Each structure stands twice: as C-alpha cells, then as structure tokens.
Structure 1
Amino acid sequence: MAPSEAYILSSFLLSPGPLPTVISLQQFTELFPKKLRSHPHVKTLYRELQEIRDQDLNVVNGNIDQETKDGEKQKEELRKAIMKSGIMDINDHDRREMDMDVQLFGQKTDVVSSEEYHSVSSLLSEMELACTNIEHDIFRIDQDATVIMSEIDTTVGDLSDLRYGKMQGPGGAGDVVDQAMQGLANLEDACYRAAIDHRIKMPSIPLYPRAISSSNPHDNPLPNLLQTPSGLALLELQGTINLPPTGERQLDEQQSQDQYLVDNDTAPTATGATYETPLGKLMFPDYAPQTTNKDDTSWMKRVYLYVGRYQRMTGEVKKLPQPIAIVQRRGETDELEIREIVKFKMIFKSRPEPVNNS
C-alpha cells in the first residue's frame, strides 16, 4: 500500500525534529569552554532549548493535519468536477493519476464543462470541414506546380533554341552569322594591311617534283597497288619496338654479316659496313602477282608481318583519306624534292601470335 500524505510529511518533518536527535547533551556541553562545562546552567539551557523545539514540532504536526484535510477536500472537489464533466469509465489507475496531478500542480479553477466536448454529429462535421480544406490546399498546390512546370518548359525551350541557333527577336541567327562573317572579313583586311605596311615577307622554299626513276617496277616486291618508284611504303605499328642494346645489336649484326660473307665467299671491304636490325618480313597471303586482278582489293584485308621465326602479326592495307607526300632535301641546298606520294598504308594493331616454323 502506498504511504499516505500524513506519513510522508511526518517522516520528513517530525522524526528528525527533536533536539536530542539533532544534538545530544554531551555534544552541547562540549561547545562551552572547559571551565564552564560543569556549570549547572548549561544543563538548564539545554532543557529550555528542548522545550522550545517541542513546541515547534507541535506546530508542524498541526500544519500536517491541516494539509491532510485540505488534500482530502481537493480530492473530493476533483471527483465532483469529473462527475460534472460527463467523463465516465474512469478506473482506479486514472484516478490515481489525476490525484497525483492535483497534488503536484494544484487544483485548476477552470473546470471543463460537458458542452465543450464533441458529440458524434459535431465531430463528423468538423472532420468534413477539415477534408474540404485539405482538398482546397491540394488543388492550389497542383495549380502552382502546373505554373512552375510551364515556366521550366519555357526555359528549357529557350536554352534549346540558343544551343541550335534558333534565336528569336531582332537578333536572329542570320544576323549573328552576318556579323560573324563581317568580323572575319574585317580581321582579314586588317592582317593584309598590316602585312603590306610592315612589308612582311613569308619564307619560301622551292619544292620540286620527284625525279624520273629508271628502276624496273617489276623489281618491287610489293603488290602493284602499293608499289612506288623508290619502293617506299607506309607501315604503322601500334605498339613499341624493343630493340637489343647497342653493343649486343652490333655484335649480332656483325655475326650475321660475317656469316653472309662466308656463305658468299666475299671478303669484307675496308670502307666499313652499315649494320641494320631487321624488324620482320612482310607477306601477302591472298595476293598472287600472276592471277590477282588490279581492281581486286580483297587481298588487302590480310597482311602478315613475321617478327623473328616464331611470331606473326596480322594486319591489313587501308587507303589514306589524304595522300601523304614524302619530302627530302636535295643535297646540301635549301631546296626540297618530293620523294614519294603514298596513298595506302599497312596497319598492324594486334598483338603478335606464336607460329610454328616447321
């Protein structure tokens, strides 16, 4: 059972209240000097203080009784207010909660009457009104969203017109183009006048056509489509060529040259030899000089480049979008000469694949 209000107040106010509980006679005597501790008035003073303390406790006890009675009155007033409000089916737990609120926060003077509570009909009417207000708010929000979407569409359309040059108004696309062309023409005239005023002379180098070669075209091992007077061809390798170091390369080339001289019973010349590193051997498997027609280009789809004895790269022959002129210097002069005009190239963009040299 929960403790009552009188028990709680008495336990906290009356139990520690008597003077002997606060300070004993011996402790009170030790508060005086040693010469006066044995004086009889010390004990008399302690008794008088104890009597005054008891009178105060009696007053506190009377206040506790009065507070308990006031609490009962407040509970009764609360019960009457509940009965008047029309709220039924209040269990003991609810009553305890209400009693606790009254004890903690006091009794409220403004008691809610039964007229301020909704009935079934009034509650339905209020709910219908709330639904109507919500529908109006939704309709207004939809209208605002429609206006915003139309503004966004207009902005996107204007940006699209700006992107594709469909500008509106007096400054249309035609005017902009005319202004740009006029500006370029003015710039060209200004550059021309500046060149005349400062007598700027552009450097010029004589360029001569290629000389007529007396070599026999049948000696060129390339297909007829790739043949040029000097035998040059454009080869594109999409990768890196890893050559041996200079010392090893010269040693290998020297051994190859010596072996060639021995096989041909030729003595080396005293002028020195030029060492070259072979990169591979070109083969056109679908091309036959005797049977392939000049207009047939099917053989261009497959070209082999043998690297060493056990690796092969597969490529193809492609026509250049624009022919490439190979220019070289004529002797020690500042004149240039067209060496070749290349119209096709051989491209190898795949990795080497192993082959059997059997």
Structure 2
Amino acid sequence: MSSKKTAATEAQILTSFLLSRSTLKDIISFREFAELFPREKRSHPQVKHLYRVLLSLRQRQCEQVRRKIQSEAATVIKRVKEGRKGEVDEEAMVGIELFGAAPEENMLPLKELLKQMERAADDLEIEQVTIGDECDLILEELRNIVGDLSDLRYGKLASSATEEQVTREINHLVSVCENIGGTATAT
C-alpha cells in the first residue's frame, strides 16, 4: 500500500472515529440545553448566548483535532518516505508508535530497550530480596533484645554483670532503631 493511501486511510479512520457527530448540535440541541436551566430562566437571552459560546468552543476544538489528524497523516507519509531512503527499523517504528518518540531522536531498538527493562526489573527483585533479608535480621535482633529485657524484668538474669549487659543491650537496641530510622528516612 502506498504511503499516501496509508495516510489517507489513517486520516479517514481517525476523522470518522473522533469527529463524526462531534459538534455541539449533534450532542445536545438548543432546546435540550435550555431545558437544563430552571423553567423561569430558559427564555433568558444569556442562555442562548451561552449555547453559542459553547458551540463556538466546540467547533474550535473539533478544528484543532482535524488539524492534528492532518498533521499525523503528513508525518506518516514523511516516515514512509524516509524509510524508503534507508532501511526501516520496524522495532524503532513500533517504539515510535507506542511511546510517541519523534523519529529524529536517538532511540534504542526495541530489543535493547526490553533487555534494559528486564535487567532493571531483575535488579529491583534482587534489591527487594536483600532488603527483606535485612529486615528479617533486624527483626530477629529486636526480638532477641526484647527477650533479654524480658528476662531482666522477671529476674532471670542473676549475673553480677547484669547492669553492664543491660546497658549494652539497650545501647544496641538504640543503635538498631537508629539504623532503621536512617534507612526509612533514606528511602
């Protein structure tokens, strides 16, 4: 299929989909519009003026869409012509269509982009597992410290070095909590 036929077909599809029955009159008649107002205000001249303003705004909006459709059709013709001069990279075209990148921008081929995305996903999974393991270790340390403090509370620690051990454990608990606080703040 030639580039002009492709562009014409694309423009036709977009126009019929986006612009058929798109004027304000197609959506709501003046009579229906006026009925949206309280009965005593329906004949007010400002209602008719408001409808005309909305009609004008809608027409401008439809014209803007029509211009964008024509611009896109011209872009398709340009892309196809440029592709005939050199090899068309189908993967790059898919990327352009999916992500809207301009053809003159430096782009990664689709395969390379997918590889990089897979690597990034793998890295995130590894980081998630690592952080999960660190959290498990910290939780275990906290449980041990709380258990040791519980032993102190109920008098199970009868050693003469109990005060030193309690001080060490509390300092360790504070250190762990500060590490957790620093980690939470950093993320």
Q: TM-score, normalised by structure 2?
A: 0.44
Question: Larger RCO: Structure 1 or Structure 2 (Cα < 8 Å, ≥ 6 residues apart)?
Answer: 2
| Larger helix share, 1 or 2 | 2
| Larger strand share, 1 or 2 | 1
Q: TM-score, normalised by structure 1?
A: 0.24
